[in-house]
Structure 1
């Protein structure tokens, strides 16, 4: 068989989304909601779940070694995914916990429920970010497991 008769080698192209772009989109979405100054609503749930699904769908496992890059990738995964999760649960926290049990107003009747929810979300985000970063290898294995 001559060189002209050989089939062309198959190229394996893996389409990859830039993880930095995903992280930036998540943070941008979060900043828009956090500084909106109004109540958290159903749109926050939809956008939070959408960001969460996109981040999980395009997640590639961090390297298994204990290198600074591996730790940074796991931290970035935890931070951005935790932020999307926090956005998704914000209305439940505001209308299920803050509003009924910790409602506060100023002298003019302006409610601080949205602000208090944002403060609680900062704690929820930190806890979720740490847990997601720690369990990133297990989450990645679960995402890549065949059904």
Structure 2
């Protein structure tokens, strides 16, 4: 094979394009997995509004109306600087039928702690599950090489 002018440039451009496509695919699947797990975590039992929650402090919240669970979503995977970016969390515009606190604010309170200091995290554990369990599997499947150890 003869090395013609521009051959390396073309090959490296193809390798870069392939890597970008695979990275975007991995991040999309990872965001979906984290979103799915967060919805599971935000469903620890159920109870009517005004009654005690069956959820234990430190575990995910129980369902009252389902608005918080429905509001969990992710943004599209888009280029950001030198890489790719997506966000998983509560979407805007979701308010339960019985109150005025949007689910994004309510979710933050549950995740970080209520006035009494009790927290019912659902996003943090979902993120940890995604990074420790799902991401290595996705990476190995798409890139056909083991997850890099840092």
Same fold (TM over 0.5): no
Structure that is richer in strand per residue: 2
Q: What TM-score results when the alignment is normalised by the length of structure 1?
A: 0.30
More RCO (CA 8 Å, sep 6+):
1
Q: What TM-score results when the alignment is normalised by the length of structure 2?
A: 0.29
